[in-house]
Amino acid sequence: MRLNVLVLPGDGIGVEVTREAVRVLRHAAARWRHDLALSEALLGGIAIHKTGSPLPGETLRLASEADATLMGAVGLPEFDNAPPEKRPEKGLLGLRQALGVYANLRPVRAHASQLDSSPLKNHLVEGADMIIVRELTGGLYYGVPRGITEDGAETRAVNTMTYTRSEIERVARVAFRLAQARRKKVTSVDKSNVLENSQLWRRVVTEVAREYPDVALDHMLVDNCAMQLILNPRRFDIVLTENMFGDILSDEGAVLAGSIGMLPSASIGDRRPSGAWVGLYEPVHGSAPDIAGQNKANPLGAIGSVAAMLEYSFGLKEEASAVDAAIDAVLSSGKVTADLRPSGAPATTEQVGQAVCAAIG
Ligand code: NAD
């Protein structure tokens, strides 16, 4: 199969973790004899430095031509006080919107060999295995009006949380389809006791659920969900929620998995006329300026994102399972980066990438 993949290393540790993810992708492509066509482009802070824009036109063009895009992370401290249009994160938001990837899938699994890395008690996290499905192209992060205005003596900031029925329906269907292939349970998370937006969300998700009678649906308020994720994570199979709630809740998943560096994500849109699913794959973590350039970032979130790409964009389930199994094997072997090994000699980012390739065989 021809795998036409665009790589956007981005900023900070994004560069280091995508290098290892690409190593694993090349290895898997060679092992299963796929024809891998890789291209690379600029996104985020590095793109601002080199072109003046966080999302250059050339990057957009290459992303729209690729079958799948692998992204590292964006964000550089020197842009922390820059206006929104000139921030690295704007490039990522623009890319997600341009690709129309409206469903962000964030698998959270407590790996048996890493239970001690979680600050939670082993008996709470053991067996936790869920996918957080976050709506990605709507809600507060995109709604208008938005901005900061000066009105006489007062300064006002406005953001708008907006969803349409069709935006909710399409992401809900992704969640229910995923549930059908798993434990057949969707928990829809909202704030319907306060927000009209969430009332529409709850109503539409309930209607979509009727199309999937084999899947059980329950609803949970986001504040309670934040608590239940920690108290009883095993109760969740698919967690379906809107953009900002999903952004926040999925970082809690890092506590269950042991480190944010472990978490992969897949952002899926509609099918291309060719039949391929549009997909953007990236680890959940950011650019981690505190450890950038030190060869100590955990690349397993980025490598797990390659597994997700093989499965969702290319339908290569055997290859995807082999990469996931290799990640498990490396975790069990103890060859892990410092975030998973508070004492003893940790492996480097590069050594973990090499170990995953060796485990694939
Ligand atoms: P972060 O995820 O970059 O880092 C949070 C903490 O986790 C840091 O202590 C970091 O060292 C650690 N960490 C993160 N990834 C790790 C890995 N792979 N291995 C080991 N440790 C890891 O979040 P932050 O510090 O809030 O943000 C830093 C920058 O990243 C900001 O500019 C922010 O806007 C950006 N950001 C980008 C994305 C993205 O590109 N998708 C996501 C979140 C934050």
User: Which whole number is the average pLDDT over 300-326?
Assistant: 95
Q: Residues 142, 184, 251, 328: which is the catalytic one?
A: 251
Q: What CATH topology corresponds to 119-257? A: Isopropylmalate Dehydrogenase (3.40.718)
Q: Is 223 a residue of the active site? A: yes
Q: Residues 218, 223, 270, 317: which is the catalytic one?
A: 223
pLDDT of residue 270: 83
8 A C-beta contact, residue 207 and residue 217: no
CA distance 238 to 130: 6
Q: Which of the pair, 207 or 109, is modelled with greater confidence? A: 207
Q: Is 247 a residue of the active site? A: yes
Any ligand 1 atom below 6 A from CB of 298: yes
8 A C-beta contact, residue 126 and residue 115: yes
pLDDT of residue 275: 66
The domain segmentation of the chain, as residue ranges, is 1-107+259-361, 119-257
Instruction: Determine the residue of 287, 298, 348 to mutate for testing ligand 1's pocket, defined as the one with the most ligand atoms within 8 A of the Cβ atom.
Output: 287
Any ligand 1 atom below 6 A from CB of 290: yes
pLDDT of residue 116: 82
CA distance 17 to 71: 10
Q: Is 237 a residue of the active site? A: no
Q: In this model, does residue 274 exceed pLDDT 70?
A: no
* Residue nearest atom 4 in ligand 1 by C-alpha distance: 288
Cα–ligand 1 centroid distance for 285 (angstroms): 5
Q: Residues 67, 190, 237, 247: which is the catalytic one?
A: 247
Cα–ligand 1 centroid distance for 180 (angstroms): 32
pLDDT of residue 14: 98
Any ligand 1 atom below 6 A from CB of 261: yes
Q: Report which ligand 1 atom has the smallest distance to the Cα of 288.
A: 3
Q: Is 151 a residue of the active site? A: no
Q: How far is CA 184 from CA 12, 120, 206, 212, in A?
A: 38, 26, 15, 9
* 128-184: pLDDT as tens digits: 999 999 999 999 999 999 999 998 899 999 999 999 999 999 999 999 999 999 999
pLDDT of residue 155: 96
Nearest to 254 by CA among 60, 92, 76, 117: 117
Q: Which of 35-49, 272-286, 342-356 has the lowest mean pLDDT?
A: 272-286
Q: Is 80 a residue of the active site? A: no
CA distance 162 to 261: 31
* 33-92: pLDDT as tens digits: 999 999 999 999 999 999 999 999 999 999 999 999 999 999 999 999 998 888 999 999
Q: Which CATH number fits domain 1-107+259-361: 3.40.718.10, 3.40.250.10, 1.10.1510.10, 3.40.50.2300?
A: 3.40.718.10
Nearest to 103 by CA among 266, 281, 317: 266
Q: In this model, does residue 216 exceed pLDDT 80?
A: yes
* Residue nearest atom 30 in ligand 1 by C-alpha distance: 286
Q: Report which ligand 1 atom has the smallest distance to the Cα of 72.
A: 40
Any ligand 1 atom below 6 A from CB of 73: yes
- In Å, the largest CA–CA distance within the chain is 67
Q: Report which ligand 1 atom has the smallest distance to the Cα of 80.
A: 32
Any ligand 1 atom below 6 A from CB of 136: no
